[in-house]
Amino acid sequence: MMRFETINAIAALSAAAVAADKIGSKRVYYCQRCLNHNRLEPRKNHKCECVYANCACNKCILVEKRRVLNTQLHELEEVADVENEVGVDDLGLTARSKGEALYP
């Protein structure tokens, strides 16, 4: 079983290399869910027609968990950036930059 998956992974990588040669220097991103099922589908304009959009296999569930975690991390970064712009932390002390100590 492992040998078959390895062969499919190698085939997908070689197909990606061929696609990269055709396009040139532009990078092509592929649908991660389709890659999980050994299909090479470019991500652009693919979301509405992805066959595996509602797939519940372990690999596709992992893709969804990563997407949710990434969204949460971006939201936390935005909140941290806003707090740093204001210059006030939870104790009401001001800071000049991220690396400096807080002074009353």
Helix (H, G, I), strand (E, B), or coil: what is residue 30?
A: strand
Query: Model confidence at 38, in pLDDT bands (50, 70, 90)?
Result: very high
Nearest by Cα to 40 from 29, 53, 49: 29
Q: Is the pLDDT of residue 25 over 80?
A: no
> Do residues 31 and 41 make contact, with C-beta atoms less than 8 angstroms apart?
yes
**Domain residue spans in the chain?**
1-52, 56-90
> Do residues 60 and 36 make contact, with C-beta atoms less than 8 angstroms apart?
yes
- Quick: pLDDT tens for 62-79: 999 999 999 999 999 988
- Quick: pLDDT tens for 49-64: 999 999 999 999 999 9
Q: Which amino acid is at 40?
A: L
